[in-house]
Amino acid sequence: MGGSENGATDNESSSPSTNKATETSLSPDSIINLDQGDPTLFEPYWKKMGDKCTLVIGGCDLMSYFSDISNICWFLQPQLGDAIKGLHRVVGNAVTDGRHIVVGTGSTQLLMAALYALSSPSAGHPVSLVAAAPYYSGYKDQAEFLRSGLYKWEGDAHTFDKDGPYIEVVTSPNNPDGTIREAVVNLGEGKLVYDLAYYWPQYTPITHPLDHDTMLFTFSKCTGHAGSRIGWALVKDEEVARKMTEYMQISSIGVSKESQLRAAKILGVLSEGCQHFRTADSENFFQYSHRIMRERWESLQNVVENSKIFSLPKFPQDYCNFTGKYTDSNPAFAWLHSKEDIDWESLLREHKIIGRSGERFGADPKYVRISMFSPPETFNLFLERLSAIIDNTNGNVVGGEESSIIK
C-alpha cells in the first residue's frame, strides 16, 4: 500500500523487465528495474527455515466467509490476530493492548478502508487528505482513482492550510526518504493514519512502541511475503474499526484465509526466533534482514560518496530497544539527490536503470527513489552502472551523451 507495498502501483512501470519472477540472467544490456519494492531478497532466510514455516491446508478447510463472529473484524482468523499481537510484543514497535485488529488485502486495502472510516458521509464536502512531501506516490492514486466524494487528495501536508476536517497520513520511516516522522499539520479537526510498513528492526532502530489511534502494518515489508497480500491495522476507536471492516465487507467480503493462516504461521516462527535470540546460535530473521540491508547500504554509500554532486540522506544511529544496541537505519529505498540540476529519472534510463522520479513523490526531479530490494545480481549491476555514472558526472559528462541532462 501506501508507504508500504508500493510494488506495482505504477502504470508506466507495470511491465518490469527484471524482477524475481522472471529474472534468469543479466547482461550488460539488461534493463534494471529498481522502481518497485518487491522484497524477494529475504527469500533465502525463509528457505533456510525448511519445514518450520510450511503450511498444509486440507481441501475442506477454511470454506466459510466467517472466522470469528464475536470479533468486529469477523473475517480475521484468530490465529493471525494472536500472531500479530505476539510479534508486536516481542519487537516492541507498537502497542496492541486495547486495540482492534482489522486485517486487509495488504495495507493498501487498509488505507482505502481508513479513508472510508475517517471521512464523514454527512459532511457536504470531502475530507482533505494530505501527506508531507516527499510522500509515497501511491496515496494520490488511491485517493483519486474512484473520484470519491468522501475524500480529496490535497497533496503536501507542509503547505496545507484549509479549514475543516482533514486526514494526514504519516509514513514512518518514510517512503521514499526513510526519515522518522511525526504529523505536521496539527490542526484541530485532523485525523491521523500512521503507515508503519517499515517500522521494523531491519530498517530502523525501534526506539519505542508507537501508540497512535490508527496504525497500519504489512506482512510484505515485515517478512518479505508480498505475494500473500496481508496487512493489518491496529485501531483504537471501535467505530473506526467497525467502519474499516465494513469497507472490506463491501469491497471484497473479507480477506483470504489461506494467506491469513500462512502469515500467522510465519509471524509465529519469526516471534519465536526473536525470543531466544540473545542465546541462539543462528540469526533470527531481523538479524539476518538487518545484515543484508546494512551490507547493501554500505555498498551504496561507498559508491555514492565518490560523487561530487550526488548524495544520500544521512541517518543518525539510534538506540534500538529490540536489539539492545545502537543501530543504523537501512531504509527499503534510497532517496538519491543531486546538487546539480539533473533529471535523475532520465539520466538513469539512459543507463538502463529504472527508478522513480522525485516528482512522483511531490518533490523535485533532482531526487530519485531506488529500491534496495532487488535480487543480489541486479543490485550489484546497479552499483556498477551507478559508479560509471558518477565517474562521468564527476567529469561533468553524462554517459558519453551530450550534457543536455545537466542543464
| Residues of this chain, 101-140, that bind a copy of itself according to CB under 8 A | 104-106, 108-109, 112, 116, 121, 138
**Does the footprint of a copy of itself cover residue 146 (CB under 8 A)?**
yes
**Least Å from the CB of residue 324 to a copy of itself:** 27
> Is 266 a residue that touches a copy of itself (CB under 8 A)?
yes
Strands 353-354 and 333-338: unpaired
Q: How far is the CB of 232 from a copy of itself (least distance, A)?
A: 14
Determine if 239 is a binding residue for a copy of itself (CB under 8 A). no
CB of 217 to a copy of itself, least distance (A): 15
Instruction: Decide: 340 and 406 in contact? Cβ < 8 Å.
Output: yes
Query: How far apart are alpha carbons 90 and 254 in whole angstroms?
Result: 28
153 binds a copy of itself per the rule CB under 8 A: no
Q: Is 79 in the site for a copy of itself (CB under 8 A)?
A: no
* Distance separating alpha carbons of residues 275 and 83, to the nearest angstrom: 13
Q: Which residues are bridge partners to 103 per DSSP? A: 232
Question: Of 13-21, 24-32, 159-167, 233-241, which segment contacts a copy of itself by CB under 8 A?
Answer: 13-21
Among 79, 207, 251, 323, binds a copy of itself (CB under 8 A): 251
Contacting a copy of itself within 44-73 (CB under 8 A): 44-47, 49-60, 62-70
For 178, left (φ over 0), alpha (ψ -120 to 50), or beta?
Answer: left
- Mark the segment that binds a copy of itself (CB under 8 A) among 14-22, 158-166, 187-195, 203-211: 14-22
Rounded Cα gap, residues 347 and 404, in angstroms: 10
Encoded one letter per residue, x for contact with a copy of itself by CB under 8 A and - for no contact, window 191-220 reads -----------------------------x
Output the CA–CA distances (angstroms, integers) from residue 273 to 6, 29, 87, 277, in the order listed.
28, 42, 11, 6
Q: Are 358 and 367 in contact (CB under 8 A)?
A: yes
Q: With binding defined as CB under 8 A, does residue 142 bind a copy of itself?
A: yes
166-171 vs 190-195, strand pairing mode: parallel
Stretch that binds a copy of itself, among 91-99, 183-191, 223-231, 273-281 (CB under 8 A): 223-231
> By rule CB under 8 A, what string of x and - marks binding of each residue 302-331 to a copy of itself?
------------------------------
Indicate the length of the chain as a whole number.
Answer: 407
Query: Which 23-42 residues touch a copy of itself, going by CB under 8 A?
Result: 36, 38-40, 42
Alpha helices in 208-280 (DSSP H): 219-223, 238-252, 257-275
Which value, to the nearest 10 degrees, does the dihedral of the CA atoms of residues 249, 210, 328, 168 take? 60
Among 20, 89, 294, 352, binds a copy of itself (CB under 8 A): 20
- In the set 249, 299, 321, 346, which binds a copy of itself (CB under 8 A)? 249
Contact partners, residue 315, CB within 8 Å, separation at least 6? 178, 179, 204, 328, 329, 331
